[in-house]
Structure 1
Amino acid sequence: MLYHVILNPNSGTARALGITAEALARLFATHGLDAVVDDDDSRPLLDRIAEAVEGPAEVLVAAGGDGTITAMAGALVDGGKHLAILPLGTFNAVAKDLNLPLDLDAAVAALASGTAQPIDVAEVNGRIFLQKVVIGLIPGLAAGREHIRGRETLMTKIGFLQYFFRRLARQRRMALAIETDAGARRIERVQAMAVACNAYDEGLGRFFARQSLDRGVLTLYVLHHFTARDFFRLTTGMLLGRWQDDEALSMESVSAVTIDAHRELIKVMFDGEVETFETPLRFSIRPRALSVIVPADISQTVEAA
């Protein structure tokens, strides 16, 4: 089997460890895997992905963070090729949900005996995502977080915390028109709203973690108010595995939903990246539309369940 690896050398772990295309190619060879490694970040990522899709490799490997993984997933949905993941980002949320090894050597070794597992993807205005799209307060906070990425000294962290709590104190609720596939249309005033591909699970220490990626549903999370008190209560609840019944939060499972903010453009957090979308936002779920390579023991566990 031939692997085409797209390496993002500027992703969090790749940059920290100084991972190069040559080192990665040697690692694949050590485990008996035939791989072509592309680390040319001077070219647009989508061009590199399109070239890989047209090439002979059966498995395309995202060696980077969640942004790289989401972009590659969008090109492979409902196709005949498989996506594999080497978790080299800062958060590696998708890799954790798939129970992939986070150590690079172990992740490459797992590919040798890995099997294909279909998972759901979600779509908003024609764009594929794997985790969630967030509207409201959170994208603004994420944009502030980007200003200190790569220079995270004690003083910059203190400065971000001050910025964070100032935003909480000043943030006004926004009115969203929400229409689900059931046909009901309502107006809600919210601090933030997330549309997730499948659902996040409760459990001790399970912080934004999903046990199942093939339930075939979107989950709406509506945060009605979010003060500093709400922040500490919700964070504590998530760490203790008791957050879904929080007074500030409501949840709903749907197959499709349209959200309108009564403005032409809106900033959202799209699988961890802040982007601008035209409204309305039209969401849908595409069940088991993406084939991913997972360790054989994980695939057997899923099938047994």
Structure 2
Amino acid sequence: MGTTSPPAKDLPREAVLIVNVHSRRGEALFKDARARLEEAGLRLIAAHAVREPERLQETVRDAVADGAPMVIVGGGDGSLSGTVDELVGKDCVFGVLPLGTANSFARTLGIPLDLEGAVAAISSGRRRRIDLGMIDRDYFVNAASLGLSPRIGETVPHKLKRYLGRIGYLLWAVKCSIGFRAFRLMLDDGVRQRRMWATEVRILNGPYHGGVELSDQAAVDTGEIVVQAVVGRSHARLAWDWYAKFFKLRDRDAQTEEFRGKAFRIETVPPQRISIDGEVLAKTPATIRIAPGAVDVAVP
């Protein structure tokens, strides 16, 4: 007789709510989120509106240390990525309120982007065990990138991002591409070394980056990380790649090469900064790897 897996544990009915009110919609939706969660039958042990983004991780750490069975984080992908480290190895469910610009992690998990739908996922959904990506010792939820994206993420004016959303990113990308140059990429999976010219490299734990579906190979439960390189030295190829992927054209993968594995060593000439879920936090050379089954999240 075959063995059956144990039944999935139910979602907790108690939680701590922590919202980055510096994110695009955080301030406006904090009170609404708290009210909707309580109306949905959740008991909020505490609710924090965090105005200084650098205090988010500390606030989550304290909630987990105090024994919260679920921590609900409201903000953009950077807020979620910057706090998920505190839940790794803990018996605490990660609840996601997508209040950012691109909300790529929520898209990957199938979490509705409207507040009502996201609250429903947290209050009446299910637990799902997912992988996390790692850059050296830092965990991330969805995607990292090097090349043009970090330059955009590092310099885009907050008000442009806040009020124009993805269109604001696009406009700023055109400005940042002036003077940008391709780089030499070396990728080593421990068995084989690959060398190529590239204009952008995406390190994917899920299919979305910048709110655009970039890969049909990347997922949060495969036990593998996907590295996608826009190859060659042409700015036009990079622009066409984003355009083709944004509009899901038939030849949308023509400009990229993809590699899958559990870990890679990545080096570039010249060194490149690495944007991790929208925040520039690392640089090459770096080791990238998958952390399989690292956290439980609430999903529909």
TM-score scaled by structure 1?
0.80
Partner of 1:176: 185
Question: Is residue 28 from structure 1 mapped to residue 40 from structure 2 by the alignment?
Answer: no
Partner of 2:295: 290
List aligned pairs for 1:105-184, cutoff 5 A.
Answer: 105-146=116-157, 148-150=160-162, 160=172, 163-165=175-177, 167=178, 170-181=179-190, 183-184=191-192
Structure 1 residues 115, 257: CA separation in 2 closer, same or farther (over 3 Å shift)? Answer: same
In 1, the alpha carbon distance for the partners of 2:57 and 2:268 equals 29
Query: Do 1:214 and 1:288's aligned partners in 2 also have CA atoms closer than 8 Å?
Result: yes
Structure 1 residues 226, 234: CA separation in 2 closer, same or farther (over 3 Å shift)? Answer: farther
Q: SS in structure 2 opposite 1:80? A: coil
Query: Do 2:143 and 2:208's aligned partners in 1 also have CA atoms closer than 8 Å?
Result: no
In 1, the alpha carbon distance for the partners of 2:120 and 2:169 equals 37
In 2, the alpha carbon distance for the partners of 1:177 and 1:289 equals 28
Query: Do 1:123 and 1:284's aligned partners in 2 also have CA atoms closer than 8 Å?
Result: yes
Question: Is residue 267 from structure 1 mapped to residue 273 from structure 2 by the alignment?
Answer: yes
Query: Do 2:20 and 2:79's aligned partners in 1 also have CA atoms closer than 8 Å?
Result: yes
Q: Which amino acid aligns with 1:274?
A: V
Structure 1 residues 287, 4: CA separation in 2 closer, same or farther (over 3 Å shift)? Answer: same
Q: Which amino acid aligns with 2:297?
A: V
Structure 1 residues 234, 66: CA separation in 2 closer, same or farther (over 3 Å shift)? Answer: same
Choose from 79, 92, 104 the match for 2:90: 79
Please give the per-residue CA displacement for 1:25-68, whole angstroms capped at 9, x wherever unaligned: 32222112101211133472221111011123211101111111
Partner of 1:301: none
* Alpha-carbon shift at residue 118 of structure 1 (Å): 0.6
More moved, 116-125 vs 139-148: 139-148
Structure 1 residues 198, 40: CA separation in 2 closer, same or farther (over 3 Å shift)? Answer: closer
In 1, the alpha carbon distance for the partners of 2:55 and 2:124 equals 32
In 2, the alpha carbon distance for the partners of 1:189 and 1:173 equals 7
Partner of 2:21: 9
More moved, 207-216 vs 120-129: 207-216
List alignment gaps of at least 5 residues for structure 2: 1-12
Q: Which amino acid aligns with 1:107?
A: A
Query: Do 1:200 and 1:208's aligned partners in 2 also have CA atoms closer than 8 Å?
Result: yes
Question: Is residue 222 from structure 1 mapped to residue 229 from structure 2 by the alignment?
Answer: yes
Q: Which amino acid aligns with 1:171?
A: F
List aligned pairs for 1:239-250, cutoff 5 A.
Answer: 239-243=247-251, 245-246=253-254, 248-250=255-257
* Alpha-carbon shift at residue 80 of structure 1 (Å): 1.0
Query: Do 2:152 and 2:169's aligned partners in 1 also have CA atoms closer than 8 Å?
Result: no
TM-score scaled by structure 2?
0.82
Q: SS in structure 2 opposite 1:111? A: helix
RMSD: 2.9
List alignment gaps of at least 5 residues for structure 1: 296-305
Partner of 1:196: 204
Q: Which amino acid aligns with 1:251?
A: E
Structure 1 residues 143, 123: CA separation in 2 closer, same or farther (over 3 Å shift)? Answer: same
Query: Do 1:24 and 1:37's aligned partners in 2 also have CA atoms closer than 8 Å?
Result: no
Query: Do 1:217 and 1:285's aligned partners in 2 also have CA atoms closer than 8 Å?
Result: yes
